[in-house]
Chain A
Amino acid sequence: MMDVPNKLNLPSYKEQAPDVKARLDELKQQPVVIEVEKLVKEFPTEEGVRRILDQVSFNVHKREFMSIIGPSGCGKSTVIRMMACLEDITDGVILVDGSPVSEPGADRGMVFQKYTLFPWLTVMKNVMFGLEISGKSKFDAEREALQWLDIVGLEPYADLYPAQLSGGMQQRVAIARALANKPKVLLMDEPFGALDAQTRAKMQAYLLQIWEKIDITIIFITHDLDEAVYLSDRVLVLEANPGRVRELVEIPVSHPRSPDQFLSPEFLTTKIHLEELIHPSAEESQDEFEVVKMAATGVG
């Protein structure tokens, strides 16, 4: 299995350049914001209890960008929805800043794959929604909402309704709306999954910019390996049936990230490794074919 990367003379994904290693070491010194301990999710079916997640544990550090990937059915969306308390926890515990979570709250902002702007409110009022709940005066809420719209580059659109915006713009407003609450963590459940490839690339760049600009921890669900490698510090790989942690992969790609790095050896070797983790049962020859094709064309 490993002779394919060798053929292409790729380094191991475990080799980290000094700057990358320093950065990751520093990250791991940061306090833990999210602690997931032995998380279990079961639900009853006609054949009996089905276990979706089995003893999933991992930590997310302050300022970290962590992606969670895995084959379909591995429960990656369930994990993030349990963090937001949109799903009940069967067993285990999720700690945010040391306290276990039990109900949804503004400290865990979320961006969904579906467009979830409130269609009866203007862009501005959407961003103000959480600010007003937190008890801010209308004046303060408006001022802060405009600042956040400025950060996502949509200030001129403040008075429009969601139906007047493109999908990418709606997701940027959704990000601004979640960030306006100053959450401890931003949970993103395949936020760009419904966008076309070009818009998605733009949104990835926007998200990296925002993440570098402000002090925020992000947990990001995706099934797009390029996206996971391009955006993340670390990638948590889950396996399916039941969902378990397979590996926590540190991304050896240096910062700041740019689309040029898609073809760099460390990017490719990481992506190949992730691919192998997600599809371990696939035929080797098939893997080889896929890998060579990806390496040759530079797309996945």
Chain B
Amino acid sequence: MSTQEKWFRFGKNLSPKRQRGLTVASFMLPLILWSAISYVPFIWHPEVRISEVGDTIYFDVDDRIDIETFQLENQNMVEAGSVPMVGERVNPVYFPAPHEVTKALYSAFVTEPRRDGEPWFHESVAHSVRVVFWGFILSSIFGVPVGILCGVFNTFSKLTEPFVEFFRYFPAPVFGALAVAILGINDAPKVAIIFIGTFFQQVLVIANTTRTVDFSLVEAAQTLGAKPGRLLFKVVIPSVLPKLYMDMRILLGWAWTYLIVAEVVGTSTGISWFINQQAKYRMFENVYAAILVLGFIGLGTDMILGAIGRQLFAWEDGRRSAFSRLFRKTKPVAAEA
């Protein structure tokens, strides 16, 4: 089978083995490219890091200079009879190698802040997570019910959605100055930015998803005697819950993208503050490490939520969830027409 299987078949899935292989490759290919550029000298390495200065008066040990400058200066010094510089070809400081970033993923967490009172890296990360969490929770507390009501009742939809549709075109960051003026310089304006960035999209997305409810289920429930309250809570919401859950995962991703904007509003905090600090110190491996940490938190959260969702909504493909398997035994049943 594996030798016969074609790689490109329209609309068909590959074997699970190949799918897993490609998933690994999607991470390995960028890593291989990065390693090649970092470790193979002739691919890029446009600079020279000086290890011995010789007789030059212009440069110091560990300076990084363009390779052309290095060659020109050495040529001049050789012609003048001076001792030339010695150095090795390197990539620019803003392009650290994989092993340096890997090391930074650990060292960033254990390196003491440069100044008293500044947060450790893990404190910065926690700060960021906290801001996103509150922004997203507050947005959801209002956005999800409003969205569902808009999806169910035309009155709500027509009263709410036209304005929301208009408001969502204001980029959330433009409210930064206002948020600071109203809410002060601490976390409140940051949470507000994430709220504004999420809420208006959320109402529209949730409303649209709610509208996809299979209306024949609602009709069936009506003929079983269900009144509007029960229709909403026992039919519409359970029916669209898997899709709403998926929406929430996507919206959480959007909330993350507003984080970096939110964190520079008022006093700079969190991972953005850390990234800006490290860039000032030219500790670019820490910058990459911080960016990667953002990615890991995002992807990790989404994978956990995805796994929980597969258990919560096992009924979609007629499976019993792991939760319920813990408590109940299913009778073995033979298939029947």
Q: Roughly how many angstroms separate A20 CA and B179 CA in the complex, as a whole number?
A: 83
A262 contacts partner chain B, Cβ-Cβ < 8 Å: no
The answer to whether B224 and A106 touch across the interface, beta carbons within 8 angstroms, is yes
CA distance A225 to B291 in the complex (A): 69
Min CB distance, B83 to chain A, in Å?
Answer: 80
Stretch of B32-40, B156-164, B189-197, B215-223 with 4 or more beta carbons under 8 angstroms from chain A: B215-223
- Measured between beta carbons, the chain B residues less than 8 angstroms from A159 are 328, 330-331
Q: Residue on A with the closest CB to B241?
A: A120
Contacts of A109 in B (CB 8 A): 223-224
Residues of chain B with a CB closer than 8 A to A121's CB: 315
A209, CB-defined interface residue at 8 Å: no
Q: Interface segment, A49-57, A69-77, A164-172, A227-235?
A: A164-172
CB-CB < 8 A to B235: which residues of A? Answer: 118
Asked whether any CB of chain B lies closer than 8 Å to the CB of A130, the reply is yes
Bound CA–CA A177/B224 (angstroms): 8
In the complex, are the beta carbons of B220 and A110 less than 8 A apart? yes
Q: How far is the CB of B214 from chain A (nearest CB, A)?
A: 8
Contact assessment for B219 and A112 in the assembled complex, using a CB-CB cutoff below 8 Å: yes
Tell me if A119 and B216 are in contact (CB < 8 A): no
A195 (CB) vs chain B CBs: closest residue:
B337
Cβ < 8 Å to B, chain A residues 158-192? 159-164, 166, 168-169, 174, 177-178, 181, 187
Quick check: is A104 within 8 A (CB to CB) of the other chain? Answer: yes
Q: Tell yes or no: B185 within 8 A of A by CB.
A: no
The answer to whether A169 and B336 have CB atoms under 8 Å apart is yes
A279 to B216, CA, bound (A): 31
Q: Which of B212-252 contact A (CB under 8 A)?
A: 216-217, 219-226, 230, 234-235, 238-239, 241
Known: A112-B216, A112-B220, A114-B216. A160 touches B225 (CB 8 A): no
Given contacts A118-B239, A120-B238, A166-B337, contact A160 B318 (CB under 8 A): yes
Interface size on A, residues (CB 8 A): 39
Q: Which A78-104 residues sit within 8 Å CB-CB of chain B?
A: 84-86, 104
Residue B304 at the chain A interface, CB threshold 8 Å: no
Chain A residue nearest in CB terms to B329: A159
Q: Is B116 an interface residue (CB 8 A)?
A: no
Tell me the count of chain B residues lying within 8 A, CB to CB, of chain A: 30
Decide: A163 and B337 in contact? CB cutoff 8 A: no
Q: B24 contacts the other chain (Cβ, under 8 Å)?
A: no
Chain A residues whose CB sits within 8 angstroms of the CB of B320 once the complex forms: 161
Q: Are the CB atoms of A156 and B230 closer together than 8 Å?
A: no
Q: How far is the CB of A181 from chain B (nearest CB, A)?
A: 6
* A130 vs B227: C-alpha distance when bound (angstroms): 11
B316 at the interface (CB under 8 A from A): yes
Identify the closest chain A residue to B223 (Cβ).
Answer: A110
For residue A133, CB closer than 8 A to chain B, the reply is: yes
Q: CB within 8 A of B333: which of A112, A116, A119, A157?
A: A157
Task: Tell me if A181 and B224 are in contact (CB < 8 A).
Answer: yes
Q: In whole Å, how far is B70's beta carbon from the nearest beta carbon of chain A?
A: 69
CB pair B223 A133 closer than 8 Å:
no
| Of the residues B221, B239, B241, B315, contact of A129 by C-beta under 8 Å | B221
A-B contact count (CB 8 A): 91
Give Cα distance in the complex from A187 to B220, angstroms: 11
Chain B contacts of A297 at CB under 8 A? none
**Residue B317 lies at the interface, judged by CB distance under 8 Å to chain A:** yes
Contact across chains for A130 and B337 when beta carbons are under 8 A apart: no
- From the candidates A106, A119, A157, A161, name the one contacting B223 in the complex (CB within 8 A): A106
- Contacting residues, chain A, for B315 (C-beta < 8 A): 119-121, 161, 163
CB neighbours of A199 from chain B (8 A): 337
A104 to B241, CA, bound (A): 25
Q: Which of A114, A133, A169 contacts B230 (CB 8 A)?
A: A133
Cβ of A120 to closest chain B Cβ, rounded Å = 5
The answer to whether B224 and A178 have CB atoms under 8 Å apart is yes
Q: Which residue of B lies closest to A167 (CB)?
A: B337
Chain A positions 232-251 with a Cβ under 8 Å from a chain B Cβ? none
The reply on A213 being an interface residue by CB < 8 A is no
A202 in the interface, Cβ–Cβ < 8 Å? yes
B residues near A178, Cβ cutoff 8 Å:
223-224
Counting chain B CB atoms within 10 Å of each CB, the highest count among A84, A116, A169, A202 belongs to A116
Contact between A108 and B337 (Cβ–Cβ < 8 Å)? no
Query: In angstroms, how far is the closest chain A Cβ from the Cβ of B240?
Result: 10
CB under 8 Å from chain A, chain B span 265-321: 313, 315-320
Cβ contact within 8 Å between A116 and B316:
no
Which partner residue on chain B sits nearest A127 by CB separation?
B224
**Of A110, A119, A181, which is within 8 A of B316 by CB?**
A119
Cα distance A150–B269 in the bound complex, in angstroms: 65
* Residue picked from A112, A119, A174, most chain B C-beta under 10 Å: A119
* A134 at interface by CB-CB < 8 Å: yes
Note all chain A residues with C-beta closer than 8 A to B234: 129
- Chain A residue at minimal CB-CB distance from B319: A161
- Given A133-B224, A159-B328, A161-B318, 19 additional A-B pairs, CB 8 A: A84-B219, A84-B222, A85-B222, A86-B219, A106-B223, A116-B219, A118-B238, A118-B239, A121-B315, A129-B234, A130-B224, A130-B225, A133-B230, A156-B333, A161-B315, A166-B335, A178-B223, A181-B225, A198-B337
25 A-B pairs, CB-CB below 8 angstroms? A109-B223, A110-B219, A110-B220, A110-B223, A112-B219, A112-B220, A116-B216, A116-B217, A118-B217, A119-B239, A121-B315, A129-B221, A129-B234, A130-B225, A156-B333, A160-B318, A160-B330, A161-B315, A164-B318, A164-B333, A177-B224, A178-B223, A178-B224, A181-B224, A198-B337
> Could you tell me which B residues sit within 8 Å of A by CB distance?
216-217, 219-226, 230, 234-235, 238-239, 241, 313, 315-320, 328, 330-331, 333, 335-337
